Amino acid sequence: MGSTKTVTAEIIAIGDELLYGQIVDTNSHWISQELDKIGVKVVRRSTVGDNRDAILEAFRSAEKRAEIILMTGGLGPTNDDLTKPLLAEYFQCAVELVPEALEAVRTFFEKRGRELTELNRLQAHLPTKCTYVPNELGTAPGMWFEENGCVWMSMPGVPHEMKRLMEAFVIPKIKEIYPLPNIYHKVIKTVGIGESWLADLLKDWEQNLPEHIKLAYLPSLGQVKLRLTAFGERMEELQNDVEEQILLAKKIIGKYIYGYNKESLEEAIGRLLIQAEKKVAFAESCTGGYISHLVTSIPGSSKYFQGGLIPYHNKFKNKLLEVEKTVLSEKGAVSEETVIQMAENIKNLFDADFGLASSGIAGPGGGWAEKPVGTVWIACAWEDRTITKKLQLTQDRMLNIQLTAVAVLNMLRTAISGKTE
Amino acid sequence: MGSTKTVTAEIIAIGDELLYGQIVDTNSHWISQELDKIGVKVVRRSTVGDNRDAILEAFRSAEKRAEIILMTGGLGPTNDDLTKPLLAEYFQCAVELVPEALEAVRTFFEKRGRELTELNRLQAHLPTKCTYVPNELGTAPGMWFEENGCVWMSMPGVPHEMKRLMEAFVIPKIKEIYPLPNIYHKVIKTVGIGESWLADLLKDWEQNLPEHIKLAYLPSLGQVKLRLTAFGERMEELQNDVEEQILLAKKIIGKYIYGYNKESLEEAIGRLLIQAEKKVAFAESCTGGYISHLVTSIPGSSKYFQGGLIPYHNKFKNKLLEVEKTVLSEKGAVSEETVIQMAENIKNLFDADFGLASSGIAGPGGGWAEKPVGTVWIACAWEDRTITKKLQLTQDRMLNIQLTAVAVLNMLRTAISGKTE
């Protein structure tokens, strides 16, 4: 991290509803991530109830541990919401009307055709020691303090209001005040290989990473993300250093990489299909519509998604998809022969370039010795080729559906990009 | 709560990866909910890093605030994992091999055909003051202490291991030690009505609830849960009191209630279809397979789910589902006439009793003045009837898909139970 000293932060979430498990605190995790990105070290997260002593005690102990203290919640106009009066008490100042804040609240309500109540008007009264930070998305303003050797920011608990305040005000302000290291992140998204296999392939590469670049493996369902983080002085250099390492990694694991940063597998599929000017259709048995759902959850997917069929019983695999009755009776619905016919026929039925199929035993019932729960066949047909794969998955129905979907999308990805083995 | 004193708890999550936002702490929220259910009051949640001073300070301040201290994480065999040595240090005792724990770790590895390493063997060394609590699902044991006037439980951070330890050991143990109020919860699940409308209908009922019964509204996507919580001495009475109130509520909002407690809407649909011995099929345009996915995510759905078709373009609505070309060209794909034909024809195509259809503009593109983004038509055909509904939803694609799915499933629910208006 060069010569810059580590800057520390504490996050305090306020509200009984959090402690009692009535709502999930997604704010603290999100703030953690944002601070990590700019090189601020979070040293503690605390959740306290709507309780005077607990909140004051949280203030006192936070200022001993951290330089930056970020608070969410406890800012509504009702009596349970204590953050504002307690901040005034803690910093020993009055609470006074801020005309600019009143104007903002008034405008907020006018735009929505609602009356300003006395309770709402109170939201424009702020501790005199704070800097008023406008909240365009709600009625509780942000409050910024520089007191007791720390900076303090109080934000509403509503996630999108908090996020806007963080992005528009808090993060730029922290960068302005503190000498932070420059940090450059890039995430490599891989599919079709497990974490330990990937780590094994990349062992030498990882050992030779320059000191100022850190690597993290972030596994999720059927996919592994590799996050590279470079710390240093000059942003442009960091970016070059990371890209150089990614080029090296690509030589080793290139065929498993489908994208970078926030691109999802289904987005990557869309991008590839649009580039190749190709269209796709799915015949889903055990995945029950989930793959089509993933693909159509992407805006603009109607450009390349032709349609799907979910023939959940043999009768319909035959009647609607023309899988031969003898194949179904002799080989079974969960067989290589069946998924081949499903993939080829769905392609033709929907005038698609790629036809994909899944058939398996999702569980928990329906398995037997020869084909236990978790046995799945998948296929991809295009041009005059059809490839297949047998998966042996888990005992868990949802997991089997999700893992099959990832495997099918990955099969499609390799087929489009001509990287099948 | 009668005469029993409030029992307090603090939850401590340990791990740098939480503070840096690399993984989400779902444990603390889950533990909050479980403690709330048995009447234990959580007074603080803290997240600390893998740091000696921070963890010891968290122990010291927790024991001042709460009687029950539950910890997750920091239990791996590597050097960053500090919870175990620090508990021994804090309670001033040695760490010694527990033969029973070693046996459990050995068995765990044997079952998986893996070698026991020296690092794994260390996991069987425990502070002498703790009670060893076996962890069947992993290698890090639970540790229970009764020290300094508090009870302490250290659990692994892996969610399913922690949950098993909580359910099998911690919750029963807390109930045994502390005089807790009896609490009876029941959740009423509703669909097809917004929170404020529901609250308005139930205003008088809510005001007349007995003092020992509390009500909470828990809204989620297109659904609202009503949680009734009764506190008192005798469990049987509490149960009767709650059931009595539910009977009264049913008279007012009965037609919106689809189930109770953990039953999901798609599970309720399955139950109703099995009871009625009926089968269903879906023609999904704007929902792109999502409804079929929800229905088939339920084990045993092959008993009543016949199949689905996703004709994403007019051409296939006509070719595969026989929606008339003139209807498509004159009324458009997003029209009442189109969804009527889709619903009736999907029913026949799949030999189903109920045929359902969705067609709409999910967005963000594709809308125009007459049919803006969020315009959706849905239909349900059965026997010789077909009902339709127009929805005017949001600008958000995923939200539109999800809200349409809930509306379609609710239309099916009312059709099966004969409660359509």
Q: Do A297 and B309 touch (CB under 8 A)?
A: no
pLDDT over 70, % of chain A: 98
pLDDT of residue A420: 67
| DSSP string computed for B117-155 | PHHHHHTTEEETTSEEE--TTSSS-EEEEEETTEEEEEE
pLDDT greater than 70 at residue A2: no
pLDDT greater than 90 at residue B315: yes
pLDDT greater than 70 at residue A162: yes
Q: Which of B19, B42, B309 sits opposite A43 (nearest CB)?
A: B19
As a whole number, mean pLDDT of residues A60-75 equals 95
Interface ipTM above 0.90: no
pLDDT band at A253 (very low <50, low <70, confident <90, very high): very high
Q: Do A296 and B316 touch (CB under 8 A)?
A: no
Query: Looking at CA atoms only, how far is residue A134 from chain B in angstroms?
Result: 25
pLDDT band at B67 (very low <50, low <70, confident <90, very high): very high
**Residue of B31, B47, B80, B220 to mutate when probing chain A, most A C-beta within 10 A:** B47
In order of start, what are the domains of chain A with their CATH numbers? 7-177 (3.40.980.10), 182-260 (3.30.70.2860), 275-416 (3.90.950.20)
pLDDT band at B80 (very low <50, low <70, confident <90, very high): low
pLDDT of residue B121: 87
pLDDT greater than 90 at residue B202: yes
pLDDT greater than 90 at residue B246: yes
pLDDT of residue B420: 67
As a whole number, mean pLDDT of residues A298-305 equals 97
pLDDT band at A79 (very low <50, low <70, confident <90, very high): low
As a whole number, mean pLDDT of residues B268-291 equals 98
pLDDT of residue A4: 63
Query: Looking at CA atoms only, how far is residue B160 from chain A in angstroms?
Result: 14
pLDDT greater than 50 at residue A13: yes
Per-residue pLDDT reduced to its tens digit, B113-137: 777 888 788 889 999 999 999 998 8
pLDDT of residue B216: 84
Q: Do B305 and A293 touch (CB under 8 A)?
A: no
Helix axes A83-90, A52-65, angle to 10 degrees: 60
Q: What is the mean pLDDT of chain B?
A: 93
pLDDT of residue B100: 96
pLDDT of residue B421: 56
Per-residue pLDDT reduced to its tens digit, B247-265: 999 999 999 999 999 899 9
Q: What is the mean pLDDT of chain A?
A: 93
Please name the residue of chain A whose CA is at the shortest distance from the CA of residue B57: A61
pLDDT greater than 80 at residue B138: yes
Per-residue pLDDT reduced to its tens digit, B1-10: 444 688 999 9
Which region among B2-11, B189-198, B226-235 has the lowest average model confidence (pLDDT)? B2-11
pLDDT of residue A421: 56
Query: Looking at CA atoms only, how far is residue B300 from chain A in angstroms?
Result: 7
